[in-house]
Structure 1
């Protein structure tokens, strides 16, 4: 069994247990359930921000423990102050060391959009995302059939949330709903977990121009972000690059400052050509 299949199988078991402990009617009593979510799309496109979606995660199947004792309130607040356009919070526990509580804690201390990063396999998780304070959810095309992608997306939108559709392979594009507004291209192979930026460049050319495009995985330097920007990406999901540092928030601040510096110097040199 691949790591992906193992994660999905485990997630289905966990969701079944969650449904018994916290029924949908209980989730709907959350203080966040009637709140108006922020627009991930608008924040990604804001010219005064960086386009960076700064991610909070403690570990991953490919890297093991990254930052086991990081606190979501401290890290995520510093991410926002550093100029991140949005936050991504891992809520899968077994393989990524996250929890729904991590996102709720981040929500209390932040005023920018928060993406629930998880392996969503049941509409219950969409409703749960709203109840814990998420503004957007991730739907991974490789683990969901076309009908579920459409149904989960429609449910999220009815609750005011936006959807980031993640694709890994060319054939997944045909599974996307016609009204998809944000598409993330993950350069990480789900079977080998290897990263290929060339693969990302190939896929981005197949995405409609009006769609907001997010680059995921393999962004290890400000220079690599700017390269991806020239390919047509507008958002950049970065987690491990920050989380492996003793102070992830400070690392994010330095990264974004360098991006702005390089962008300014590039603009200046262009004006003088």
Structure 2
């Protein structure tokens, strides 16, 4: 099977190079959101009764038509109004139908925004800040430990929090204290297979005081409850909501179902 993660990373190198030539760092630093004070996703998730990071995405490599006509402004507004602890915005265009401008369009609320991007260059962190993000995703499988340290430092200097994602136990040697949130991807990014039990086993290897996010492949309240019972604090859910005609209402019903009985 094609290693989609490596394919995305190679494309991202070319994409970032083009972006730098079109919009140099100095121009990013002049954008209005670049100097805003970020919201704390860590605090929001810790205080939330559900810990859900509701995601906006129109498509993915495994699902080319999740919801191609969805409007980010409306979905983000509905997510925020219906109890999301944070909102994830896919900014990758080629593979996920995203855009950095989606962050700006989703910014009209007081819910922390995650820039869901395949970050391989510090320039992208400045892009996230300039377009209104509050925290960024770093993927351990894409980066060396020194890059994780460098990118985390850059993010912190800009007031952004960091979610560091793992999908295999051997990657834990790249974990550093400075990251705010630890993510475990239930979907193997190389094969796109989902295995919740594998994620639970990985969670058990982490300190109990870490705020740990279960990412991807959560398709039911039962999945949510299983992960919650096994030590996860946050739950990044996108496709389940985005497949519905009204993603925000789907989130509302999901939360109601969590608290039934």
Q: TM over 0.5: same fold? A: yes
Q: Which residue of 1 aligns with 2:117?
A: 118
Shift of 1:63: 1.6
**1:156 equivalent in alignment to 2:161:** no
**What residue number does 1:97 align with?**
97
Distance 2:174 2:223 in 1: 29
Name 1:174's counterpart in structure 2: 173
1:74 aligns with 2:74: yes
Cα offsets for 1:48-70 (capped at 9, x unmatched): x4210000000001122100010
Partner of 1:83: 83
1:132 is aligned to 131
Could you tell me which residue of structure 2 aligns to residue 256 of structure 1?
255
Counterpart-to-counterpart distance in 2, 1:260 and 1:12: 44
Q: What are the within-5 Å matches in structure 2 for residues 186-201 of structure 1?
A: 186-201=185-200
Question: Alpha-carbon deviation of 1:176?
Answer: 1.6
Deviation of 1:181 (Å): 2.6
Spell out, residue by residue over 1:164-197, the C-alpha distance to the aligned partner (whole angstroms, 9 max, x if none): 0000000111012232331000011122110000
- In 1, the alpha carbon distance for the partners of 2:31 and 2:252 equals 33
In the alignment, is residue 32 of structure 1 matched against residue 33 of structure 2? yes
Q: 1:271 maps to which residue?
A: none
Contact 2:152 2:178 in 1 (8 A): no
The answer to whether the 8 Å contact 2:78/2:248 transfers is yes
1:250 is paired with a residue whose SS is helix
Return the alpha-carbon distance in structure 1 between the equivalents of residues 16 and 191 of structure 2. 26
Tell me which stretches of 4 or more aligned residues in structure 1 moved more than 2 Å: 178-181
Moved more, 182-191 or 217-226: 217-226
After TM superposition, the structure 1 = structure 2 runs for residues 210-249 of structure 1, keeping only pairs within 5 Å, are 210-249=209-248
Q: Does 1:143 align with 2:142?
A: yes
C-alpha distance in 1 between matches for 2:215 and 2:237:
7
What is the RMSD of the two structures over their aligned residues, measured on CA atoms?
Answer: 1.0
What is the CA distance between 1:249 and its match in structure 2? 1.1
Which position in structure 2 is the counterpart of 1:11?
12
2:157 is aligned with 1:165: no
Cα contact 2:34–2:129 (8 A) shared by 1:
yes
Deviates more, 1:159-168 or 1:169-178: 169-178
Aligned-residue offset at 1:251: 0.8
**1:112-155 Cα distance to aligned partner (Å, 9 max, x none):** 10000010000000011100000000000000111001100010
**Separation (CA, whole Å) in 1 of partners of 2:41 and 2:259:** 21
The answer to whether the Cα contact below 8 Å between 1:180 and 1:211 also exists between their aligned partners in 2 is: no
**1:60 aligned residue:** 60
Contact 2:161 2:179 in 1 (8 A): no
